[in-house]
Each structure stands twice: as structure tokens, then as C-alpha cells.
Structure 1
Amino acid sequence: MKIGPYDIEPALVLAPMAGITDKPFRVLCKRLGAGLCVSEMTASDPSVWQTRKSRLRRDHAGEPEPVSVQIAGYDPEMLADAARFNVDEGAQIIDINMGCPAKKVCKREAGSALLADEPLVARILDAVVRAVDVPVTLKIRTGPSPDRRNGETIARIAEDCGIAALAVHGRTRADRFLGQAEYDTIARIKSAVSIPVMANGDVATPEQARQVLAATGADAVMIGRAAQGRPWIFREIGHFLRTGERLPLPTRAEAGAILLGHLDDLYAFYGEHMGVRIARKHIGWYTQAHADAQSFWSAVSRVDTAAIQRRMVAEFFTLAGVAALAQAA
């Protein structure tokens, strides 16, 4: 898949997820096989651009190219200004959020709420594409609600406005994350335009990725929640699509080594206080598949220093750590 001058290889994309796809996670997923990683959404409101959170979201130092930054908002000129600002800060692709179903986003008439206003969608896309000299992509859902699936119309508007690629989550705004993804709808959207289309929703295994690509005709698969605690999913899917064979799952020790590296990057990026707290959700995701995770989580979630948190994680992912937990139970 090609987005502007960038070859996205493999055609496996990490979906933007608020509070999750920060730089440490994006760099890790790139290293483990993602062809493109999209940042968590950044607000178009300039009043928040100088907060610590916003400054960290604009830190792209050392991040593998291409750097894709998602912007969110409802005002065309504010979004255009946000696009220019983020390009000046290092963004090489701008992604516009019209897919988020979260109430705090939609109540401001942003995210997937925008899909109900097709003329506004056109004004936003035209303003942002005209504002920057980098590719602009768009993430949408299939429509505002099951009785109004207008994804094909939005896709045609996007192509007419010069959008370089489109990501489609196969649910409506009203569906949030309930039910099954609508791959037939994504297939119709793909057929309606000539720009690259990324299929998103319910891809958690290599076999599902292959099935979704076949069912939708999409140019790439976008993966979100399935990568939480499993950043190696990208190399698993990439290998399977190339060879038809499954890679062995990481051993417990290998998974632990990946998590420890992730923790170190979080501490370095955020500092100890914030890094330890952000690390907790990742630790929960990495460990949830293990039978002994519950007792471990109840202990590690109370820790507030990096050294102790890291030591407990290291012990959990070794046989000695498992034995110690069993004795303590």
C-alpha cells in the first residue's frame, strides 16, 4: 500500500487509540512488524497545544518514518491550523479522526459524530488537504447508525477532496464496539473509490487478517485492541500472509523481555511517576492470558516505583516468579 510517497510495507497498520498509541508503543509495534503506526488523537484546539500531554504527543524524535499524527475536532479552520502545526512538529502524514465513538468526543460534534453532516465533512477535508503538503488520511466508521450507513458517500467525498487513504472501522457510531464488524460494508466502500482502504475491526489472529483482506478487498488491515499486550501480532500476521504458516507464539520469557523493554521506554519517555502509572494498563494486557495473572495484578497495581514494578514483572515472567506466586497464594 502506498500513501503519498510512502510505501507501507507490510500493509499492517496500528490504529490510533487514545491513551495507548504513544511514542513508546508506536516504536515497539514498528519494531515488531507494523508497517505504519498512527498516533493517538491530538486536539485541534490551540489552547491545549502547550500542555505537557500535548508536548509529549508531539515528540517524534527517533520515531521510524513515516510519522502519522491524528488530529480531532469539528472546525475546518482549526483543523487546518492543527495540521500545519503538527507538520511543523514532524508529522509526515496527517490523519483526521471521524471514527471515534467516545461520548466525550462526539458530544463536541467531533469524531464519528461528524459523519452525520456530509457538507461539514467535505469542508473539513478540503481545508486540511489544502493546508499541508503531506498526505492526509481519514478514519471513519460505516455511518452514524445502522439505519444510516453513509460510508460510501463519505468515501467518495474524501477521494474528491484529495484524501490519500481511508481507514474504515466496520461498525457505525451507534454500534460503538458491539456486534460484529461489517466487512460487507467495507467491501462496498472499497469498491466505491480508487484510493487505498484499510479495513479495521475484529482482527485478532493471522487467519482473521487473511479472511478480512479477502472479504473486503482492502489494501491493508488496521489493528487496534488486539495489539494491546500483544505487539508481536504484527509480525505474526505478516509472516502468515507471506507464507501461510503460523509463527510460534512468544515464550513466557520472550513476552516478558518485550514487556520489560516497553516499561523501560515508558519510564524514560514519561519519567518515573507518570511512567509507572501508564505502565499498569500495559502490564495488565500483557499478563491477562496467564492463569496466574489475577494474583499478580492485585499486587503489582499497588506499586508506585519503577524499580519494584520492573522487578515484579521480571519475576512474573520467569518460572521462579511463578513458583513464588504459587507459594504465596
Structure 2
Amino acid sequence: MTDSSRNILQIGDVLIAGRVLMAPMTGVTDLPFRLLASKLGAAYVATEMVASAELARGRPDVVRRAAVGGGLPLTVIQLVGRDPGAMAEGARMAEAAGADIIDLNFGCPAKEVTGAASGSALMRTPDLASRLIAAAVGAVSRPVTVKMRLGWDDDSRNAAWLAKRAEQLGVAAVTVHGRTRQQFYTGVADWDAVGEVKAAVGIPVIVNGDIITAGQAREALERSGADALMLGRGVYGRPWLAAHLDRALADGTELEEPGPEERLAIVAEHLRASVAFYDGPVGLKMFRKHLGWYVEQAPWPADPAERRAAKSRLCRLDDAEAVIRELKNLWLPLAHFGNSPVEFSPQLVEADAA
């Protein structure tokens, strides 16, 4: 259910104060990122993809992926797996950890996931997908959602059928990435095909894929008829994007990008949080992918070649405070004195988005 006039999405008994959601992304939406995006106004940011069997066994790195913390408007834990028993136990553990929503991954196209008969491979085994849904729904009292693709390939686009089956089994909402698994991230997302899913079910449908600008957000919602949209790769280096897009949808304006001081403060907070969460040097290493995206997405220096050189230099530093000092020296003088900023030009980067 959605109330576009109030910009509210309802999933089960959960009210979400916005219609722009952030996808679960492996190696991206860890707890430091989720806390930062939430502080910047994001209404919904999911965990990294969490393997249900390994979560049930208590594997430390997997438990860390499901980490929750204060300061989040809601907690969404995404599970992936192929064993109904492990999925049920993972769902119970997610609920006990404080999950408001439990999402099941039927969409990840990565070979290491599909090769284990999980992720988007489940769209080729709808009976198993149904058993996994039933196991999760039956194990918890929280709303269960499913994120999927259009199908395995163009010859087997079964998203509408699977979404209808999921609804019958008690799923509270579905998110559909407008590509098949075999497309990975090539071509363009088919928002019209997501409309076929919306027509098949009565639960909320969330459209995903190739949404970065306010214009794309409005077009994706119009063409799909979806209740909300989900951002993936577009948030790289822009953790404020969901909140800014939500405002743009609500008031009809275009996106506003942060200025140099605000952007520097965001990066500094994110880096320090990562160092604290991962305990020192590991945190800086984990952060480097984000650092590269922050530098790539900033309009300073205006020359892309200079930005690439700056990224290479910054990502070799081994001290977090040195990174922040170098960013300050890079951005603030150029932003204020003569090196005029360029307009943001969205680029999609290959990602392991769940």
C-alpha cells in the first residue's frame, strides 16, 4: 500500500516514511553505510545480503553483515539461501535481532550465488522458491518481502507468476529489478515489464534498476505503476541520494548535490565510522571502495583525469585522518576558487547488488 500524497509506503504493519528505498548490496550497505544514509534522511536501507545457513551457524563475518544498531529508522535484513530449514532459522534470528522487515534474495546474479542454487537461480526452481518463502513466513511475525529479477532469461520471464505465488504464501511486498539474470547489469532495465508484476498482485511492488536522477525516478514509477522504487548502484559515493530523490518526488523539484564542506563532512563521518566498526586498518581497507566512489562522483577537480589521479593517490594512504586532510586540500580550494564544478553526470558501475 502506498500513499503518494504523503510519500508513505506501507509493507505489512510497517510504515516507511518515503518511497525511495536503498537496495541490499554486498560490500556496500554495511552498518556504517546504513547509519550514515539514515542520518542523511534515507527511510529504508537494507543490510548486505546475509547467507541464512551461515547466519544460523553463527559465522562471525556473516553475523557482522546482519549487524543492527541504534539510529536506524527501521531494520531490514536480507537473507539468501536454498535450504528451507536454514531460511526459517535465519528469519527467526533476524527477527530476534530486531528486524522490522525480512527480505529474501531471489535476484542476485553473481555466479558464486547462482552456482549454489540461490539468488536469481531460484527463479528457475519456483517450487523451491515457494518452499523458502513458506518457511520464512511461517517462522516469523514480521513482514517478509522478496527481491527478484524478471526471470532467468528472456525465454523464462516468470516474475509475475512468482510474485503472485509469493503473495499467496504471505509475502508483504516484492521488489523487481527490471532485468533477467542473464543480462546481469547490461542493457537497460525494463520498467514496463515490472508493470506486469504490479498488475498481477495486490501487495506493494517496488521497481529497481537504472534509477539515479529525479527524471528517471518519475519515469520508472509511471511506466511500472510501482508503489515505490529502489536504488542500487546509483548510491555509490552518494549516500544522500535516497533522501534527495524522495524530496524531489514529493515536491517536483530536481536533485540537489551537497556542497564541498557538507560532502567532506559526510566522507569523514563515514570513514571514521568504518574504522571504528572494523577495528582500525581493516576499516580503512574496507572503506577504500567508498572513497573511490566519493572521489569519482565529486565535481572537483573538474577534469576527470585529475579525479582519477586523486583517487589513486588517496586510496594508497594508510591513515584515515591523512585521507580526510588530503580530501580537504583537494576539494575545498577547487570548489571555491576558480575550478568551476561540473554538472553531475550519472555513471553506472558494475556491482554485486543483491
Change in 2 beyond 3 A, CA 1:115/1:320: closer
Instruction: Give the deviation of 1:254 after TM superposition.
Output: 2.0
Instruction: Give the deviation of 1:49 after TM superposition.
Output: 4.5
Comparing 158-167 with 89-98, greater Cα deviation is found at 89-98
Amino acid at match of 2:327: V
CA contact (8 A) 1:38 1:67 kept: yes
Structure 2 residue aligned with 1:327:
none
Structure 1 residue aligned with 2:217:
209
d(CA) in 2 for partners of 1:311 and 1:267?
16
Change in 2 beyond 3 A, CA 1:130/1:192: same
d(CA) in 1 for partners of 2:66 and 2:252?
38
CA contact (8 A) 1:269 1:275 kept: yes
d(CA) in 1 for partners of 2:61 and 2:335?
35
Match of 1:4 among 6, 12, 34: 12
CA contact (8 A) 1:33 1:238 kept: no
Change in 2 beyond 3 A, CA 1:322/1:267: farther
d(CA) in 2 for partners of 1:143 and 1:247?
32
Task: Provide Cα deviations, 1:221-241, integer angstroms capped at 9, x if missing partner.
Answer: 100100110112123211211
Instruction: Give the deviation of 1:320 after TM superposition.
Output: 6.8
CA contact (8 A) 1:287 1:293 kept: yes
Comparing 262-271 with 244-253, greater Cα deviation is found at 244-253
CA contact (8 A) 1:136 1:164 kept: yes
Would you say 1:305 and 2:319 are equivalent positions? Answer: yes
Structure 2 residue aligned with 1:326:
none
Superposed, which structure 2 residues align to 1:1-329 within 5 Å?
1-46=9-54, 49-289=57-297, 290=299, 291=303, 292-319=306-333
Instruction: Give the deviation of 1:321 after TM superposition.
Output: 9.8
Gaps of 5+ in 1: 324-329
Instruction: Give the deviation of 1:253 after TM superposition.
Output: 2.5
Amino acid at match of 1:317: W
d(CA) in 1 for partners of 2:334 and 2:254?
29
CA contact (8 A) 2:19 2:228 kept: yes
Q: Which has the higher contact order (CA 8 A, sep 6+)?
A: 2
d(CA) in 1 for partners of 2:146 and 2:266?
31
d(CA) in 1 for partners of 2:52 and 2:75?
18
d(CA) in 2 for partners of 1:9 and 1:285?
27
RMSD over aligned Cα atoms: 1.8
d(CA) in 2 for partners of 1:279 and 1:316?
18
d(CA) in 2 for partners of 1:63 and 1:84?
22
- 2:167 counterpart SS class: helix
CA contact (8 A) 2:43 2:243 kept: no
Give me the identity figure in percent: 38
Instruction: Give the deviation of 1:303 after TM superposition.
Output: 1.5
- 2:146 counterpart SS class: strand
Instruction: Give the deviation of 1:286 after TM superposition.
Output: 0.9
Comparing 132-141 with 302-311, greater Cα deviation is found at 302-311
CA contact (8 A) 2:164 2:200 kept: yes
Amino acid at match of 1:176: F
CA contact (8 A) 1:267 1:275 kept: yes
Amino acid at match of 2:311: W
Amino acid at match of 1:148: S
Question: Given the two structures, how large is their TM-score scaled by the length of structure 2?
Answer: 0.87
Amino acid at match of 2:329: E
Change in 2 beyond 3 A, CA 1:49/1:265: farther
